[in-house]
Structure 1
């Protein structure tokens, strides 16, 4: 069976998280994603974390799985000419560029579309005006650090949420533009700013409307769940568990599983709140916490798991990354999401594929991230039709590089 996106070829000129993630999302669905890097690698090629044994970037290899790699001397006219030719090469499914690097000179939409008029160019910027921003400078302005934690100082999270969301928006935008091209034959430039991803998300979740409509400012409440009941509790063995009761069914299950239903029911009349309502449970959260905390403190995490699993209680253990790998059965090859691969420069490692599971198509064969320049010769031959002699001359001139030279 052909891959879902086997007829799509995307050229990616990128760095860091968002655009590489967008490209990998497409590659893991079967698209031929060709990443072009300067000889020696782009700015993200050696970014931490690194393999202790080899110094290979675990960051880079994790974000570039299933792609092909071409290394070019992008600081030379001939290197730029080859990159432009790869992007605009004729044929159905090609003529697609994904980038988050400054689009100037040879890499502008105007210059490339002059070579192929149905070109699709997906371009990520920092701010809507094209100025520079990164996840951390966008996040600090989002309002979320101000409501994270419990103190007066803002607290950053380490998840690059806006980069991740932007990468998925890029993949979605590319598919929308490609569908329109199939209908009309026309290409286009599609732009996305990291700041707009943040602003759209803050708006879509109701945070902007809350200020405009109610004139209220969200306050930091630690690990409590805003507007419903949810809270973390320490266990006897020094672990922590998160418990959430959004629906009335979940709320009743929590009381039954802990044997505290009668005590919890007393809170409503005492505080004059309706515990069958999310908002009522949120208002009474401190009293609810006080009833539940001793129950968790008296039990180990395994005892909490035994008491709550299968009861309808919505809960989960807190885990660090090592515990996630060692203890969580979802993070293993028992889950079809994961496969064990041999990653060049790293060794055997368990990696995820696409989290999408299609009923009418099998998961793609998992492919590791390429070595830098691994596919230079093959891509120049396949896409541009260059002969081995022509490719050899480009190597001799230092215009292109294979894995050993790169």
Structure 2
């Protein structure tokens, strides 16, 4: 595991040239869909200035569970996972002078981003057209539930990850008979997928600007992103398959071992032959009920699960996975959260970062950067910022505001922090 830098401004390993060094991002962001994207870009060298409300801050700060900052304010897990390597500026964007400050800062940044409900940024006065008016070459990213196109019947709806995941069809596709669809089965798929597509959009738009000198508006909808990630839903439906259960694609299931469960994927006939041989049941290859992939699925519970588990429950996960993987079968352990934290692979890959101490005194863990570059060593992350921690520093540097002017703005509630 790697421990973060203590200071929120510490540019990790300044002597190392990173791919996005010099790229500056101004983000009016909250929760995860945009913050994950900007954190990823910050880890690759971009400078990110995060704009938050002076009192409530990013709504992710209010999530559960949470730790507290030096002033006793709550910082929720969602915020802790998505805001390393950023500076926080507290500006009230509902105040006309707050909007003025934002628009005055915008020309100093390559990228401006927001993830309000569609239309909100325009109503506040910080939408694409308003920013482009003062910064024609801006790369402007909007991430919303359903995009900016007024032709969408959902444009005015708000969305969290679970909403767009349900609307993507994946919950119904995975639902088994007699049970309701399960919400949020893999965490914030709708958020992270949107963030990744948003990051790709930013990089593409910056490259386009390098070639043409022209900025543009990137419009990423969470529903679109989730449909792209759950591509089997529409694809399989068009081929006559409505749900995974009874789809006839083969075995994609969990099974019991002596000390836990393992995941097994067997969707090819030659793999099925190997599987039956390894579990000591080659006789099942002659059973007509198991002559097709659909038959494997139809007779999973009455034939195949008992056969597989009669072999696997007498063996440890290490033995089961070692045997089946060694024979060319796709197989792996279904891990508990404690096992994930102790996984030596994640340690080798620097994929668990120790951040602020939790209520137990143990450091809060957040995922590291999955992007490993051969010529750019990984740098330690700087901790998440306290609310408005860099307000005075940023506004003085970007706009030349004096101490007296900053005090006046703070006294009138236009800015906060510091």
* Fold shared, TM-score > 0.5 on shorter chain: yes
2-side partners of 1:382 and 1:52: how far apart?
29
Match of 1:83 among 79, 93, 102: 102
Q: CA deviation at 1:382?
A: 2.8
Matches within 5 A, 1:118-197: 118-128=137-147, 129=152, 130-134=155-159, 135-152=161-178, 153-158=180-185, 159-197=187-225
Counterparts of residues 2-401 of structure 1 (less than 5 Å): 2-40=17-55, 41-51=57-67, 55-89=74-108, 94-101=109-116, 102-105=120-123, 106-128=125-147, 129=152, 130-134=155-159, 135-152=161-178, 153-158=180-185, 159-202=187-230, 204-205=231-232, 207-214=233-240, 216-220=241-245, 227-237=249-259, 239-246=260-267, 251=272, 254-255=275-276, 258-260=278-280, 263=281, 265-271=282-288, 285=300, 287-305=303-321, 307-308=323-324, 310=326, 312-325=328-341, 327-332=342-347, 334-342=348-356, 348-401=363-416
TM superposition shift of 1:324: 2.1
Q: Structure 1 stretch 25-34 or stretch 360-369: which is displaced more?
A: 360-369
State the Cα RMSD in Å: 3.0
Supply the distance in 2 between the matched residues of 1:72 and 1:343 (Cα, whole angstroms): 28
Residues 273 and 285 in structure 2, CA contact (< 8 A), matched pair in contact too: no
Gaps of 5+ in 1: none
- Count, aligned residues: 384
Conserved in 2, the CA contact under 8 Å of 1:68 and 1:370?
yes
Distance 2:239 2:275 in 1: 34
TM-score by length of 1: 0.83
Deviates more, 1:133-142 or 1:308-317: 308-317
Q: Is the 8 A contact 2:175 2:243 kept in 1?
A: no
Shift of the alpha carbon at 1:310? Answer: 4.9
- The 1-side partners of 2:226 and 2:75 are apart by 32
- Counterparts of 2:106 and 2:267 in 1: how far apart (Å)? 49
Q: Distance in 2 between matches of 1:132 and 1:209?
A: 26
Report the more deviating stretch, 387-396 or 344-353.
Answer: 344-353
Output the CA distance in 2 between the equivalents of 1:342 and 1:145. 35
Using CA pairs under 8 Å that are at least 6 residues apart, name the structure with larger relative contact order, 1 or 2.
Answer: 2
